[in-house]
Chain A
Amino acid sequence: MRPFEYSRAADWQSAINRVATDPQAKFVGGGTNLIDLMKMGVETPDSLVDINRLPLAQVEELPDKGGIRIGALVRNSDLAEHPLITARYPVLSQALLSGASPQLRNLATTGGNLLQRTRCFYFYDPAFPMCNKRKPGSGCGALEGYNRIHAILGQSDQCIATHPSDMCVALATLDAVVHVQGPGGERAIPIGDFHRLPGTTPNVDTNLQPNELITSVDLPNIPFATRSHYLKVRDRATYAFALVSVAAILELEDGMIKSARVALGGVAHKPWRATKAEQMLTGKTAEVSAFAAAASAELASAKSYRYNTFKIELAKRAIVQALTTVAAMT
């Protein structure tokens, strides 16, 4: 691991100042992804600013808007079992509990989970010479390589990596808003604008600026989000990244779909909000034929590679399965 200076931030202003004056500095929260990437030599910060002592570990109600504010340092384990989350946003709790292991969830933070980097083999191991995300302009090793875990939606010829988070897929259906602090003050980034598609700059994962600190994630009040489900399909029953995952919420009225929210994980460079499927579902009877039609429409533009063609059919079936589960909830 490359040497770095370590400092512990006493308040967010000094944390931001520290990182703003050193482009090679990084915040560290749980560190479960960053420290691993530093061991691999993928991340090479010269300074680590430890934000763990900042007062950002609360889950609180937003009285004026009726939503919930999740502090950036709330650990994944605490968030998953927080009574406000399990009662109002079960899809988020389920997504969190489907990710990683209890030990990792005890360290991993809400803010850090948003910033997880891809688990693409060609990115994670600098022994591979080609990776446009790690080394812009070097090419994409996955395009002609072992691309079983790679993207089928929204990718570019520069990068076919997927975003690994489960939490973010649930947040996508909940219209979460990411609050950040930077040298110029505060700003709010809707979850859909937070992560980026790879395009020609796959080295840039998110629209967060390097000198900005995530302070909270706000969830709006969505009464019908109690009828929600997270389905994760993977190679083993637990402790594995998603091949395909689906977060689904249905607002039903007399068996009719008043509104639907669907997002996919494991298929794109960002959590994939299935807006086409959502539009097709709206106003339909909640039944398998409608779910299947919506799933087919969403995956119509999917493109696969040598080893991941199975993901297209898998994603369709996972959407149908998740929506069927949600529709059957009482």
Chain B
Amino acid sequence: MPPPLPEGDPLDELVLFEDLETRRQFLKKVAGTSLAVTLGPHLIALASAPTPGGSEAPSAATKMMSVQLKINGRDYHLQIDPRTSLLDLLRENLHLTGSKKGCDHGQCGACTVLINGRRVNSCLTLAVMHEGEEITTIEGLAQGEQLHPVQEAFLEHDGFQCGYCTPGQICSAVACLKEGHAKDDAQIREWMSGNLCRCGAYPNIVDAIKQARDKMGGGA
């Protein structure tokens, strides 16, 4: 719970959101609608509908589709706009916000998830294309409280600074190990090249992957 805002502050109406909205949604709306802050919560609520694949609002031509997806072992029956990328579905529809939106163009790897055990950029594929497939996100790697060995290794080796690329790095590393592409430093660097880290944590990421590799016996 954030501290209560001082009485009379023009923002205090926004506290109304606390029961209904997560902090993340709230911040996103405010960031996207700076005008609305001065106009009050009504307009903010109007601005909240997620629009898939960019800034264009859904038009009358948008036809919603039924889709069944299996994500982290759980079945979801959803009505979605076919334009919804897998990434937007995870983040906006299901609030699985571990997968990050970096570039949204397949250039940074922050959105990396596993589909049937293979790593892909979830920003460049449509959610409707993945019916019947096993989708695993960063939220699905741990077994209860037991972290995945790659998650543990990233913690032990400080494989991050700001952490924004980390979910993508970890998903990518899990697949990289499963593929057998972590033989040495050079191979790890080449096969992890689809995941950019602007903080430059690469040496620690390589160390983390090597530790996980050795702990897991060279495979997944």
Contact = CB atoms under 8 A, between A and B. Distances in A.
Interface string A23-43: 000001011100110110000
Interface stretch (A100-108, A200-208, A256-264): A100-108
Given A6-B128, A102-B176, A107-B120, A1 B194 contact: no
Given A3-B83, A36-B105, A50-B129, A103 B172 contact: yes
B124 A36 contact: yes
B107 to A, nearest CB: 8
Given A1-B56, A3-B59, A31-B126, A39 B104 contact: yes
A144 B59 CA distance: 38
B138 to A, nearest CB: 14
B59 to A, nearest CB: 6
Contacts of A2: 56
Nearest to B59: A3
B172 A35 contact: no
B129 A106 contact: no
B112 interface: yes
B121 A4 contact: no
Contacts of B181: 102
A37 to B, nearest CB: 10
A39 B193 contact: no
A103 to B, nearest CB: 5
Task: Place the interface of chain A in its size category.
Answer: 20 to 34
A104 B119 CA distance: 9
A100 B83 CA distance: 24
Contacts of B85: 35
Interface stretch (B37-45, B60-68, B90-98): B60-68
Given A1-B53, A3-B58, A103-B119, A239 B65 contact: no
Nearest to B122: A103
Nearest to B168: A103
A102 B53 contact: no
A101 B124 contact: no
Nearest to B111: A103
B82 A106 contact: no
A196 B124 CA distance: 27
Contacts of A6: 65, 82, 126, 128
Interface of B: 52-54, 56, 58-59, 61-63, 65, 81-83, 85, 104-106, 109, 112, 118-121, 124-126, 128-129, 172, 175-176, 179, 181, 189-191, 193-195
Interface of A: 1-6, 28, 30-32, 35-36, 38-39, 48, 50, 52, 77, 100-104, 106-107, 238-239
